[in-house]
Chains A and B, each alone.
Chain A
Amino acid sequence: MNRVPRTRVAHAFRRTALPLASYYAVTLAVPLANGAAQSGAFVEHALAVLVVPPVAIILACTVHTIAHALASACRAAGASRRCCRLP
């Protein structure tokens, strides 16, 4: 991963910090406060809850970066074709 996508990922995490914190609070903190930690099923669920949102953020950034690069490449290709048609 080069510098630009890393910055993009960091920016995405900052931008989604409040939704992420709210989601973790309701799905992890509240059940933990109610003593759900002893349950094996909760531990399994908690692992998924912890992992899926950050993975989704990174995936979304990757898709966005690829789409952005493709759009730039298409624009550049279109511009060069127009240049070639010029007399």
Chain B
Amino acid sequence: MKMKLWVLAAAVLIAFAIKRHYADARADDLEWILSPTAQLAGAMTHTTFTLQPQEGYFSRDRLFLIEKSCAGINFMVAAFGMLMLALLHRVGSGLSAARVLGVSLLASYSAAVPVNAVRIAIAMWLAAHPVARSTFSAADVHRFEGIAVYFGGLVLLYELAQRLNRRVAPVGQTP
């Protein structure tokens, strides 16, 4: 129980550190997540994103900028917290605690890149195909799409984690 509390405290600290880094960072500082996202979104939409210093990744042919606020850091933090809680029952020793923290962090980053790339690809498609005479503005549609994709991504990640969790040997049976 004590170990689980320590792990939760460590997870909160890590989430806080990521949010702090995001708040203070410029687009150039977020290259570790913006670059793979831009590459994947570019591959999905058959366009090339090039780095614009201080601004982010820009597609000249689509006039679309992936800026700091598009980095998907909030999704990554939400995914990290969710995975930590989902895998918390696996924490027993210091080693298992480090493993759960590491796996959750790596999985949240690995999920944030494709989910965010999908969100950007859909946003680019929506920008190119505006819904005529819609009740909602383009900004509203972009917002709804972002929420739906991020939440859907979290649900998919959770389902995947639960399935893998069931396949891996139950707690206490690992050698």
Q: What residues of chain A have their CB less than 8 Å away from a CB belonging to chain B?
A: 16, 18-23, 25-27, 30, 45, 48-49, 52-53, 56
Contact A18 B151 (CB under 8 A): no
Q: With A26-B77, A26-B78, A56-B152 in contact, do A18 and B158 touch (Cβ < 8 Å)?
A: yes
Partner of A18, one of B86, B144, B148: B86
Q: List 13 A-B contacts (CB under 8 A).
A: A16-B158, A18-B82, A19-B155, A22-B79, A22-B85, A23-B154, A25-B78, A25-B81, A26-B74, A26-B78, A48-B140, A52-B144, A52-B147
Chain A proximity mask over B131-168: 1 for CB below 8 Å, otherwise 0: 00000000010011001101110110110000000000
Residue in chain B with minimal CB distance to A27 = B74
Q: Name A's interface SS.
A: helix
Bound CA span A15–B99, Å? 25
Contact A18 B85 (CB under 8 A): yes
Partner of B148, one of A20, A21, A30, A52: A52
Residue in chain A with minimal CB distance to B81 = A22
**The 9 nearest A-B residue pairs measured at CB:** A22-B82, A19-B154, A26-B78, A52-B147, A22-B78, A53-B151, A19-B158, A19-B155, A22-B81
Bound CA span A8–B148, Å? 20
Residue in chain B with minimal CB distance to A17 = B158
Set of chain A residues within 8 Å of B158, measured between Cβ atoms? 16, 18-19
Bound CA span A49–B136, Å? 15
Q: Name B's interface SS.
A: helix
Partner of B78, one of A23, A48, A56: A23
Chain B interface residue count, CB cutoff 8 Å, equals 21
Set of chain A residues within 8 Å of B152, measured between Cβ atoms? 56
Residue in chain B with minimal CB distance to A19 = B154
Set of chain B residues within 8 Å of A30, measured between Cβ atoms? 19
Partner of B147, one of A19, A25, A53: A53
